[in-house]
Every structure is written in C-alpha cells, then in structure tokens.
Amino acid sequence: MPKNTYPDTLSLSRKVLRVLKELNLLMGFLISALLIASLVAAEPVMAALGVRRTGDTSTLFLGMRLIMVIGIVAVPITQRVLGRLLSIVESVLVGTPFVSANAVRLQQIAWGILGLELLHLAVGIVAASVASDANPLALRWTFSLTRWLAVLLLFVLARVFEQGARMREDLDGTV
Amino acid sequence: MPIIVKLDDMLYERRMSLTELSERIGITLPNLSILKTGKARAIRFSTLEAVCEALQCQPGDLLAFDPTASAEEA
C-alpha cells in the first residue's frame, strides 16, 4: 500500500540527506586540507596525487589548485541544495507539501544544481587547459543531457509547486 | 468582503442550530462556522445545495452582495 510505504521512504530520505550533508562538509574539509597542504608542501602532495615530475609542472599545479578551489566553492552550494531538499522532505512528513515555501525551495535547488553544473563545466575547462600528454588529468568534462534536463525539470517543478500552493490556499478557505 | 452570508438569519428563521444543520448535511461544525461568520473564501455548489435543501431556501436567501463592504475584510 502506498500509504504505508511513503512515510518509510521519506524517513529514509531524511536520514540519507542528513548523512550526505555531513559527508559534504567532510569533503569540504578534506579538499581545504589538501589545498593548504599543496601550498605548504607542493611537491610531495602532488607526487602523492600521481603527478609525474616531467617538464614544467607549475601550470598543472596551478590548475589542480584551481580545481580544489572550485571543489570548495561547490560545498556550500551542495549544502544549500541538500538543506532545502531536507526541508521539503520534512514538510511532506508533516503533511504540508503544497506551500509556497516549497516552491521557493525547489527554485533554490534548481539554481543550486545549475551552479554545480557550471562548476562541473569549469573543472572540465581547467583540466583540459592544464593537462598535457606528459601529465594527463583524469578529470574530464562530459556533456550530460540528463543533468541539464534535471535542472530544467526542477525549474518547471518549482512553478508547478507555486501553482499547487496557490490552489491549496484557495481550497483552504472553501466550504 | 462584499459578499454577505446570511446563514445566521436563515437558521434563526428556521429555528435550527448550527450543530443540527451540521448533522443534517454532513459538513463539519468548524466549516459551517467559517461559512456563517463570513470567513469562507469560496463555497462549493454541493454545500450550497445541501444547505438550501436542509433550510428549504434559495441561494439568494443565504447570500447577498453589499458593494459598500470592504473587500479586505476577508
């Protein structure tokens, strides 16, 4: 019965989202530590990351640090996306999903995912511009229609929620 | 709101309480109370039909339009 399985699914989602938020913060901390370490002791850190000491590696080092910075920038955006999603899940759990606050949250998630997708693109551009045959980077940007469609879908869904919330408000005063 | 609900007057005329009307038409007392106090934003035709049937009246006996009433008093 869907009525019985939904709350369990939602509770599970809430737990997963909370864990993901913690993991995201941990990821941010680890990337920050790696960036600091790469500035303090560049050679050993880059060697540990698999960079071979062939030719001029300064551009590659700079590119890798830039990618780390992009990774750090992505952390608060991801945190915001996960936080908004968690708020939506909690509103469904208490039985009030069709509220204008959720429409705003969905729109913020859409902007967040768009931002993350652009950061992903930036990583690809940096990786492509600093990688060479001697020092290739395993980070490669690939176009994914699914991800861009997801962004579009989220914006559409936000508008659907906005309309739904308005209809719900109307219905609340109907006898 | 320019739409005035005269349910209270009709109930008085028919010597019927709100609780009795609620039991007869199967609409909860809080919902009927919202309607009676003019706090409702909309009324379903099914509700109007049930109230008219129970009170033996016309929709016009229950509702009136007063353009001088403030639209913000919803």
pLDDT tens digits, A124-173: 999 888 877 767 777 777 888 899 999 999 999 999 999 988 888 878 88
B42 near A CB under 8 A: yes
Q: Look at residue B70 and tell me if it is in a domain.
A: no
pLDDT tier, A26 (very low <50, low <70, confident <90, very high otherwise): very high
Mean pLDDT of B43-50: 94
pLDDT at B71: 55
Higher local confidence (pLDDT), B39 or A140: B39
**Number of domains into which chain B is organized:** 1
pLDDT at A104: 95
Choose among A104, B47, B23, A128: nearest CA to B7. Answer: B47
pLDDT at B65: 92
Contact A172/B41, CB-based, under 8 Å? yes
Instruction: Encode A99-140 in three state secondary structure.
Output: CHHHHHHHHHHHHHHHHHHHHHHHHHHHHHHHCCCCCCCCCC
A167 near B CB under 8 A: no
Secondary element (H or E) of residue A147: helix A145-172
pLDDT at A53: 67
Mean pLDDT of A45-66: 79
Q: Look at residue B9 and tell me if it is in a domain.
A: yes
Q: Look at residue B31 and tell me if it is in a domain.
A: yes
Q: Which residues in chain B touch residue A170, judged by CB atoms under 8 angstroms apart?
A: 41-42
Give the rounded percent of residues in chain B with a pLDDT score beyond 90: 73
CB A84 within 8 A of CB A17: no
pLDDT at B62: 94
Q: Look at residue B71 and tell me if it is in a domain.
A: no
From B68's Cα to the closest Cα of chain A, the distance in A is: 22
Q: Look at residue B72 and tell me if it is in a domain.
A: no
Q: Distance (Å, rounded) from C-alpha B69 to C-alpha A53?
A: 84
How confident is the model over B24-38, as pLDDT tens digits? 999 999 989 999 998
Q: Look at residue B60 and tell me if it is in a domain.
A: yes
Within 10 Å of residue A168's Cβ, how many Cβ atoms?
15
Q: Which residues in chain B touch residue A172, judged by CB atoms under 8 angstroms apart?
A: 41
Contact A170/B47, CB-based, under 8 Å? no
Round the average pLDDT of chain B to a whole number and report it: 89
pLDDT at B73: 47
**Number of domains into which chain A is organized:** 1
Domain with A61, as residue range(s), is: 2-172
Nearest CA in chain B to A169: B41
Maximal C-alpha separation, chain A: 78
CB B2 within 8 A of CB B71: yes
Judging by beta carbons within 10 Å of its beta carbon (0-12, 13-18, 19+), is residue A33 exposed, middle or buried?
Answer: exposed
The residues facing B65 across adjacent strands are B3
Q: Which amino acid would we find at residue B10?
A: M
Contact A173/B32, CB-based, under 8 Å? no
Q: Which two tokens stand for residue B61?
A: 């006996």
Residue A120: pLDDT over 80:
yes
pLDDT tier, A115 (very low <50, low <70, confident <90, very high otherwise): very high
How confident is the model over A89-101, as pLDDT tens digits? 999 888 888 889 9
Contact B31/A173, CB-based, under 8 Å? no
Contact A173/B27, CB-based, under 8 Å? no
Q: Look at residue B34 and tell me if it is in a domain.
A: yes
A166 near B CB under 8 A: no
Higher local confidence (pLDDT), A25 or A8: A25
From B15's Cα to the closest Cα of chain A, the distance in A is: 22
Domain with B49, as residue range(s), is: 3-65
Contact A173/B34, CB-based, under 8 Å? yes
Q: Which residues of B2-41 are buried (b: 16+ CB within 10 A; e: fewer)?
A: eeebbbeebbeeeeeeeeebbeebebeeeebebbbebebe
